[in-house]
Each structure stands twice: as structure tokens, then as C-alpha cells.
A = this chain, B = another copy of it.
Amino acid sequence: MGSLPLDASLRPLDPVSFAGESRAVVDFLAEYYRDVDKYPVRAADLEPGLLRKLLPEVAPENGEPMEDVLEDVRRDILPGLTHWQSPSFFAYFPMNASTAGFAGEMLSVGLNVVPFVWAASPAAAELECVVVDWMGKLLGLPQCLLFSSGGGGVLQGSTWEAVVCTLAAARDCALAKLGHESIMKLVVYASDQTHVTFQKGARLVGIPPSNFRVIQTLAPSGYGLTAHAVRAAVDRDVARGLVPLYLCATVGTTGLGAVDPVRELGEEARRHGMWLHVDAAYAGSAAICPEFQGYTEGAELADSVSTNPHNPRALTSALSTDPEYLKNVGTNGTGKPAAVDYKDWQISLSRRFRAIKLWVVLRRYGAVGLRAHIHRHVTAAKWFERTVAADERFEVVVPRKFSLVCFRLRARFPEDDAVDDLNRELLAAVNESGQAFMTHFVVDGKFVIRLAVGGAMTEMKHVVDVWELLQGKAEEVLRR
């Protein structure tokens, strides 16, 4: 028979089949967005293991057409998803998808360059420097955090990577002075509202778990960490011969959207020579609206802010690698100006061309468009907070700062032990309806329902709908 010519559609990047199959996926997704509000936000009756029963035990031997694959996504996968793009998804923190973000991801994946060293794709590495400065300026961050003033930033895959990188940088600075065996003495500080992955990060970098200080927060400070409480904890540790290493301040905590006072904590951290990291993962982006920039005031005292490390030298010295096979087209010693090798700013070697996504989003929507997006969500959350507060069956548990509202059914009488169960039932009833999806939090022992407004398609009417749904379910629950 001889060998047959390769079917063009099986050539990995044949331009014609690439365009045809990719358009089919675009149309599939456009249809999904059109219909996403018709799916239950989260199917209530799923059991682990269902999908495995639907799919074969081994990969197919022969390739199949793209339309068959898409048909199976529609039939087998979509019904089992929790629909994060549903306008009635109010759980966790919603993912802000957008047409421009999608376009940026397509360019990132399609160009498929790996800017881990400058030479491996110069324009990609440089675009990252440009857009992190753009972001820093939009957010009103202090000059000292920008590349243009000796700082600099990197787009990590997640905030958690930023936390781990900066923990490692702080640790290595300390151990370089004290010797590695002093790792047993290093102490990290955060509040009981700090994201739990902070502890995972501290554990990952080898800080002894007995040296994690989780400082209690209270209602009067809106569950923000106070400098006073930090000082008390640090003083105790210093008296015991331990070394304060790292303080994590959060602007917009995951559970309640609480804000730690950056300037006060920064001053406290300086007093003890600690690294201050400001984790503004959730609420930081709100600072593109000037009215929210007060929350990061004092950021010039921080060693790092979310993905924007102030102290690139400490960071890169903890994370740099210079094997021979990365050197050959490097820029050191070539007489050219220094370039940014982003591999040394993150924990992985390989990396995506993330900058182009952020760049396309900033270009396509502009600062005005992004601010409008934030305002739309904050306005809806404000309305919801006001409306909940006006209903005597409910209470708002923590004053809303951004677009997260934490509320619950109010205790009907002092020592109402059943109120947590009622709230649990209410949340379950809402989620089981499939008409909305929310998650909960526990603060001061109280079960609290979280409404996080932030979906790309979420508009005022969806927030109005979820309030009606909540009222109906509350009546049912209270009647039982």
C-alpha cells in the first residue's frame, strides 16, 4: 500500500483545519453563553463517579472528528459542570471571564511562546513588564513598586504562587544571615481571616507549623488585623528567642471581604524587620476605581503586593536558576542592557504568555470600561446589602466594602441555637433549586451566607432574582 499522505486535518497546525475546527469551538461557546442561564447553576443530584461510567476506560485508538467531540462535551460534560459563567453564580469569588480575556488567552495559547527567559521570546517578556506597570499605575500603587522606579512585577498563575515566592524570598534573606538551621526559629503571622493557602505556603517552604501565628480578629475592627495584636504576638515570640519573618496583610479577605490596615501593619512590620506582603487578590482590582484606593494606602511600606514584588532582588535570588542550557542566548555578559528573565520571578521554569491576555483586556475595555464593570457589581451588591438590612428576618453580618455581602437569617430570640441550622437549610434550599449558587463562611461561630457579585454576565436583575428566591426559601425554612 505504501504510506498514505497525512490527512490535512491530522496535521497539528494545518491553517485550514485549524480555522475550521476553532470556529466550531467558538460557535459552541457562543451558544453556551447564550443558554448558560438555562442550566441549573449547580446540578443538585450528582454523585462522584458518574462521569467515569459514561466514558470508555481507555483512550480511543483512532482519532474522531471535532464535531463528535463537541457533541460529547454537550451531552456528557456540560450537565455535570458547576456553571461559573452563569449570571446567578454568586459562590466563592466568581471568575471574571470576558470576550477580550478569551481573545487574549487564544493569542497566548496560539502563539504558544514560553517567555521564561528574555531570549526565549523578547517581546513577550517585555510586554509583561509594560502591563504590570500599567496595572500598578491603574491601581494607584506607589511608584517604588513599578519597574520604572526600580521595583517591578510578574504575572503569576495565582496569588498563592506570589505568596510562596515571597515567603521563600523572605526566608532566604533571613537564613543567609542566620544560617539554615535557624529555619526552626522563623515565625510567620497572619490573621484568622487570611486565606488558608497562606499556611499551606508557609508549610511548603519549610516553616515549622508550630511557628504559624494565626491572630484572632474581632467584629469591632470589621475582622481586620490590628497592629496591636500583631505586636503582642511578635513580642511573645521575640522573648522566646524566635525570629519574626513575614506578615501577611489582606485587602479583601476571602470569607468576609475584610481589610487589614496596610499602613499600620507596615509600620509594625518595619519595627521588627519583617517582610510585609499585601494580599489584595480579591479586592485589589477594585482599586482601579479611585474610591477604593484608600484600602491599599501605605503600600509603599510593603515588600510585595499581590503579584507586584517590591523587592525583586530578594525574590530573584531565592528563585533564580542558571543552568547551562538557558545561558546560550542570555543577555548577561553580552554587553546589552539587562533583560528580565521571568523564570527567576516565579516558582516554575516554564510559563505562559500571560501578559498578552492582560494587555488585550486593558486595550479592549480601557480603564473606563473596567471601572464600569467594577461599579456595576458594587452597585448591585450595595442594593442587595441595603435590601437585606431592611428585612427584619435577616441581618448583614459584616459591613460590605466591595461586592461581597455576608448575611444571614437573624436569631429570633437570644440564645437561638437553631439559627445556624436554619441558615444552613436556607443555603441548601437555594443551591438545590439550581437557580443560584452561593457558599458560606463561619465567623465567631456563626454560619454566614456569602453573596459574591462578580460574574461577567451578572446584572442587577440577577441580584434582584436571587433576593426573591432567598425570600421564598426563607419563608419555607422558617415555616418548618
Contact = CB atoms under 8 A, between A and B. Distances in A.
A203 B331 CA distance: 25
A13 B157 CA distance: 23
A464 interface: no
A197 interface: yes
A127 B183 CA distance: 40
Interface stretch (A129-137, A216-224, A297-305, A381-389): A129-137
Contacts of A129: 52
Nearest to A318: B203
Given A204-B164, A325-B450, A328-B439, A66 B255 contact: no
Contacts of A112: 84-85, 95, 97
Given A205-B206, A456-B13, A48 B338 contact: yes
A233 interface: no
A49 interface: yes
A377 to B, nearest CB: 11
A418 interface: no
Contact of A325 (B21, B80, B121, B254): B254
Contacts of A50: 122-123, 126
Interface in A1-44: 6, 9-19, 21-23, 25-34, 42-43
A362 B66 CA distance: 11
A102 interface: yes
A114 interface: yes
Contact of A349 (B23, B197, B431): B197
Interface in A317-350: 318-319, 321-325, 328-329, 331, 336-340, 347-350
A204 B368 CA distance: 41
Contacts of A238: none
A313 interface: no
A349 to B, nearest CB: 5
B12 A19 contact: no
A58 B134 contact: yes
Given A33-B15, A82-B113, A22 B99 contact: yes
Interface string A53-74: 0010111111111101100110
B127 A456 contact: no
B30 A123 contact: no
A31 B15 contact: yes
A230 interface: no
Contacts of A365: 10, 63
A270 interface: no
Contact of A122 (B51, B101, B126): B51
Contacts of A431: 329
B51 A126 contact: yes
Given A12-B99, A22-B26, A255-B324, A52 B130 contact: yes
Contact of A76 (B10, B33, B119, B123): B123
Contact of A200 (B49, B321, B362, B373): B321
24 contacts: A12-B100, A16-B30, A18-B99, A42-B329, A48-B339, A51-B130, A52-B126, A52-B129, A57-B133, A58-B134, A59-B134, A62-B366, A69-B363, A73-B356, A77-B356, A82-B113, A102-B106, A102-B110, A105-B109, A160-B350, A183-B184, A195-B349, A328-B427, A347-B347
